Structure 1
Amino acid sequence: MIPVDTASFRPRALRADERGRIIARAVASPSQRAGGGAWRGDDVAPSSGLRTLWTKEAQLRPIIVAVITEDEQQILPDLLDAFSQVKPRLPEPLAPVLLLWAAGGGTQPDWHARGDVVFAPERDPDERPFLLAAADLFLAASPEATEAVYQAMATALPVIGTTGGSLGKEISSGGYDANGWLADPGDADALANAIVQACLYRPERLRRGTAAAEHVRNLARRPETDQMLLRDASDPGTQDQQPSEAGWLRQFPMDAA
């Protein structure tokens, strides 16, 4: 079964300021969320969201999301090792921010920004479609094709991951149908290089993201998935069940200039 609802997890046209506010709210503590987005604390800038998301020229840096389950916590050192090699290889405006999103974060502490890596517990499952839509890339924590991987692909995010599991059956890293990037397991340098390539070439990133979304749509059309919990966005019967995009975005008021 492919556990993704394509009526919720789909590409969205978001401005840079909307994307920044979505990410900033996602990592804010409950007290920072109070008052409809009245941000407080050293990690959050009132008009531009989380400071680390923005360059000195007020440009949004590439945002990479990794959804981490408790079982995948042990893989974090390898991911962080690879990510630490990325920034020196890129010009500052293209150096990405990594958001580690703790799935089912009720048992996780309120983490805060640490340089280019931001930790946050998932407090509201309805946030995840918007969080993924606000990102540029998805970093798979394991070599398996998890629920979060399919959700990211449906949202038109290229997936960066490793071979050795079922992920390699869904992600193609070469040819006309490439929809992500793959590296050999345990090769931090190769994984870092894949992240660098994805950050450097935005048109290719967008092309692979489009291919990823199409791949999930094609899976949804297969006869064996007809009875699964996989709905196409064109199905009007699913629309009323989805969170309102306009209503959700109203939680991110812009500060007056």
Structure 2
Amino acid sequence: MRPVDGMRVDVLEYCRVLASQLRLAGLPESRVRVVVQDVLAHVEATGEDPVEAFGQPTDYAAQWARPPGVLRVLGLMVATAVAFPGFWLVLTAFTSPVPWGGAVRVTPFLVSAVAGAAVVGGVYPWTVGLWLERRAGRRVGRGRSPLDAVVAVLTWAVLIVLTLVVVQRVLGPDGDGRTLFSVPRRVLLAVGHGGMALSFVLPSPGVQTMPRSPADHRSWWARVRSLLAGTGNRRRF
């Protein structure tokens, strides 16, 4: 699919979408950097439109890595569902009024929140979210359809409502504020922080960022200091 007549595709937008497609397919970040660098170098040298030169990002990415298969998608769905509730666990651990060395009460409300975060955070990205991301990779230069946002919002709403209904049916009403069981605060913090850390390393459909330049060998801490100093935006990557 070519861009709309008379419209030139921004090469950085193209490369962000391309990088996202490559990551979802499981291509190592080092290879993602090289592929994106080649596209940038070609467009800079020739001035050619990236869609005219390479095709849509989804099609070009398929030349480097196969699209994610069912087993990979299911594995990522489970991993994301485990990682996503980490924020709620950490928040609960810090805000619980019990003594610091005590045990945190697990109520039906907390179970509902964690279950909802797990289902929405794990199921949505790797079903509708993945479909929308693949769709975006075939529409660079044509813009996202307003229908995409409607589908996303409706899916989130349906998943949240269904999860809460099922959890409440299983646990019963939580108006009495009863305690289902208790968990030591340090255990809740450890599990929550582990989930949050895992969520940072897992790929996620819809997260479109440029990879670093293959020539950028700076350490993670050096890049952070560069950004804090306001110099990170002077580099191409």
TM-score normalized with structure 1 length = 0.30
Choose between structure 1 and 2 for higher RCO, CA contacts under 8 A separated by at least 6 residues.
Answer: 2
TM-score normalized with structure 2 length = 0.32
More helix by share: 2
